[in-house]
Chains A and B, each alone.
Chain A
Amino acid sequence: MPQIAQIMETYSSQIFWLLVTFGFVFFVVGRGMVPRVMDTVSQRDSQIAGDLAAAQAARDKADDEEEAWRKRENENRAQAQAVIAKAKADAAAKSEKKLAAAQKRIDTKLEKADVEIAEARYAAMTEVESVAAEAAQDIVKQLAGVKVTAANAKSAVKKAMTNV
């Protein structure tokens, strides 16, 4: 085994060159380069974390703004609804009033017309009665030669007329 057979001649050279090379690796690579590589990694990690936090903050802000906008929108809608309801109520009240006035006018007109009709009918009735009484007087006189008083004729006609 050369490791043992050569140990006396080579151990010093082995140890020396190992210390030189490993020392170089430790001080130049390990102490010099590795911390900077790790620094880059941690910088990147913190940048990513920062970016993620910023994105989260932006998202929260957008959510808040949307919430506020929704609230405002709802308020506006409610206001608009109230205005519409008020206008509707106003219009309904106005038209009711107008309708009521028109109804009143129509009612008075109708009443007047009814009275007029009743009057006209009464007048016509009395005329027809008087004509009928005269006619009855004439008929009785002609047929029976009996003279009937106007009052009698009138009451007789009235009696007959109620049967009509």
Chain B
Amino acid sequence: MAAEEGKVDPMHQFTIEPLLGSNGWELAGFNIAFTNSAMWMAITTVLLTIFVAGGMKRELVPGRWQMMVETFTGFIDDMLEANIGKAGRKYVPYIFSLFMFILFANILGLLPLGVIGLHPFTFTSHFTVTGVLAIISFAIVLVVGFWKHGLKFFTLFVPHGTPLAMIPVIFPIELISFLVRPFSLALRLFVAMMAGHVLLKVLSSFVIDGTNAGAGFAALVGVPSFILMVGISALEILVAGIQAYVFALLTSLYINDAENLH
């Protein structure tokens, strides 16, 4: 822990600690140690698989669990159909995986498991992770765009009705805004998750330090901070869902550009 003993370091929660194979595990010269981050990815994967598998009873009249899973698939399906149209159906597996993976990761990272001694780790607060997801999404956009439209895909950067004289100006602007997409996609999720967790940790340090400093500080700082924490925790649950939704929605909008141009 970087900070003094007894203090809460708000950034410590993002530290990656190797659990297994910190030295030995290598793949083509790259270290692939199984870290706490990797463990939470695995936990997310297992829970998500169990969740969806529970909805596969394929009953005509669905039970609660099946209904829940079908609600999620229907939600993604509707979103893709609204944004892309009939052609959007083939992207349901990817967008569903993306949305559910991020949603589960965000919510699992918020669980108050510290109470029982475990340390929840939100791997979506690492831009290495969100960056890879954003690059995958962006790569799909590029592949689909060039596959379907070839070089005509570049007309995406020239909106309809642009005067001929304006094309040299508009084209670079549109190109840059297109190329910024993976960064905005990755940074949005990473920053939103990190900011929320830092805020919660800072507030919790106010609660702990305020309470330790005496009854007056406890009443003045500790209690209001605690009440604020409750509210912010609720907000963070909302943010966890919204950020997963935004990531999936923006990906589907970008795929729409590639699928239908303008």
Residues of A within 8 A of B (CB): 1-3, 6-7, 9-22, 24-26, 28-31, 33-38, 40-41, 43-44, 47
Contact = CB atoms under 8 A, between A and B. Distances in A.
Given A37-B55, A41-B70, A17 B93 contact: no
Given A1-B11, A22-B97, A29-B97, A34 B52 contact: yes
Interface of B: 11-12, 14-16, 18, 27, 30-35, 37-38, 41-42, 44-45, 48-49, 52-53, 55-56, 58-60, 62, 66, 69-70, 73-74, 77, 92-94, 96-97, 100-101, 123, 125-129, 132-133, 136, 190, 194
B127 to A, nearest CB: 6
Given A3-B194, A33-B53, A34-B93, A18 B129 contact: yes
Contacts of B129: 14, 18
B69 A24 contact: no
Interface core residue of A9, A24, A25 (most chain B CB under 10 Å): A25
26 contacts: A3-B127, A10-B37, A13-B18, A13-B31, A13-B37, A14-B16, A14-B35, A14-B123, A17-B35, A18-B123, A25-B49, A26-B97, A29-B48, A29-B97, A29-B100, A30-B93, A30-B96, A30-B97, A31-B93, A33-B56, A35-B92, A36-B58, A40-B66, A41-B73, A41-B74, A44-B60
B31 A14 contact: no
A13 B38 contact: yes
A95 to B, nearest CB: 74
Q: Which of A13, A35, A47 has the most CB of B within 10 A?
A: A13
A37 B73 contact: yes
Contacts, number: 141
Interface SS, A side: helix
